[in-house]
Structure 1
Amino acid sequence: MNATDVLGGHRIVPVVVLDDPAKADALGAALVQGGLPVAEATFRTPEAAAVLRRLAANDDLVVGAGTVLTDRQVDQAIEAGAKFVVSPGLSASVVRRCQDAGVPVIPGVATPSEIMLALDLGLDTVKFFPAEANGGLATIKALAAAFPQVRFMPTGGITVDTAPDYLAHPSVAAVGGSWMVAGDLLKAGRWDDVAAKCAASTALYAPDLHPIVQGVTA
């Protein structure tokens, strides 16, 4: 299974920063309820592996590990149940560790040289990061012209308002975002709001799933 197949057709990936594993079950349920059963649990907190493990225990979720920087974190992520791995940059060591384990990996790139290195490693899907800070969709269009075989998952600064323009580009496989799992929502346990924002987000690329989203501020 390649990096995009593992997402199961979902084109928005909630980027989760959660430091309390006890909230992971409720978060997972909210993602499923909102029709966006995908999560990238980032390794930005000491409890990241525990959060990932709790999320991965939900059979209705596809959970990956984000902000993976080292081989050791790759091993921790896979042991915790990660189905895919995302890095903010391109580390050949991290990529090869994932490939050896048979786990799809999406490394971060921002330049043509990094894309060429990813191609040399046998990859055709990369994370464009940080997307908005690196020129956003205009830069992706320029890169896609030079690398038509590459699919991008832009992440970083993308909002519910800008996501549709990214998703409309044929070289964009998915976008990563945190507006539906924002820190204030998770801290307050506002799971109904998380579910509603997930539903509204899904409607950006699959309107048939949620043709009308009433009363939702995405």
Structure 2
Amino acid sequence: MTADLTDLLSEARIVPVLTVHDPGTAAPLAHALAAGGARCAEVTFRTPDAERVVKAMAAEGGLVVGAGTVLTAEQAERAVAAGARFVVSPGLDHEVIARCRELGVPVLPGVATATEVMNALRAGLDTVKLFPAEPLGGRAMLRALAAPFPGLRFMPTGGIGAAALPGYLAEPSVLAVGGSWMATPALLKSGDYAEIRRLTAEAVARSTP
């Protein structure tokens, strides 16, 4: 991962993970997140219009927008073409990693085992996504994986809520935490951007030492 994104994540500390079905919500969502103090956001490629959402949010400025749930090299290409500044994957796929390097964008692959961590290190990566963090065992699993790999940094994501955020951020191996509670599909569907802003601001406050 490039130094600029490492710096961004270490400063941001939180990464809103967004599943957006309606591209029309992208602009007000970007404004709400930025107004709440978020520095970056991850738009998952779980919806047909994910590319349009990335493009619209990136055009608003105020946030560094990345693409998540990227499963293939072709998706990585589409995400970067739409304006994604970084790529996140739920698993470790060497074709995705290679294509992101060709495209010049940082990639955070997901890991769930020590074997996957070793594969990530072998691929020259120093930051990975622990996924799904809470179902895997939460902070206990994080500590167990971090112990043999002292130079590795993690972005745990998956099932993490606001209450668990400070605990994860207190772990020395954690660079940032990804979470979807700040902008749930229900909040987006109802257009409650004030609540999205409030939850984001609350998360930012919780992440500040």
Give the TM-score normalised by the residue count of structure 2: 0.96
Match in the other structure for 2:15:
13
Give me the identity figure in percent.
55
Is 1:49–2:38 an aligned residue pair? no
Give the number of aligned pairs: 207
1:99 CA displacement: 1.1
Match in the other structure for 1:178:
180
5+ residue gaps in structure 2?
none
Assess if the C-alpha contact under 8 Å between 2:54 and 2:83 holds in 1: yes
Superposed CA deviations along residues 61-83 of structure 1, whole A, max 9, x for unmatched, are 10000000001100000000001
Q: CA RMSD in A?
A: 1.1
SS in 1 for 2:162: coil
Match in the other structure for 1:212:
none
Whole-Å Cα distance in 2 between the matches of residues 143 and 92 of structure 1? 21
Aligned runs of 1:106-117 on 2, under 5 Å? 106-117=108-119
1:8 CA displacement: 6.6
Assess if the C-alpha contact under 8 Å between 2:153 and 2:175 holds in 1: yes
1:5 CA displacement: 2.6
Whole-Å Cα distance in 2 between the matches of residues 46 and 23 of structure 1? 14
Is 1:105–2:103 an aligned residue pair? no
Distance 1:60 1:104, change over 3 A: same
Task: Write the letter of the residue equivalent to 2:84.
Answer: A
Assess if the C-alpha contact under 8 Å between 1:6 and 1:84 holds in 2: no
Superposed CA deviations along residues 109-157 of structure 1, whole A, max 9, x for unmatched, are 0000000000011100000000011111001111111000100000000
Give the TM-score normalised by the residue count of structure 1: 0.92
Task: Write the letter of the residue equivalent to 1:189.
Answer: G
Aligned runs of 1:61-76 on 2, under 5 Å? 61-76=63-78
Whole-Å Cα distance in 2 between the matches of residues 105 and 151 of structure 1? 13
Q: Which has the higher helix share?
A: 2
Assess if the C-alpha contact under 8 Å between 2:14 and 2:203 holds in 1: yes
5+ residue gaps in structure 1?
208-218
SS in 1 for 2:42: strand
Assess if the C-alpha contact under 8 Å between 1:28 and 1:37 holds in 2: no
Match in the other structure for 1:28:
30
Whole-Å Cα distance in 2 between the matches of residues 160 and 149 of structure 1? 27
Task: Write the letter of the residue equivalent to 2:22.
Answer: D
Task: Write the letter of the residue equivalent to 2:85.
Answer: K
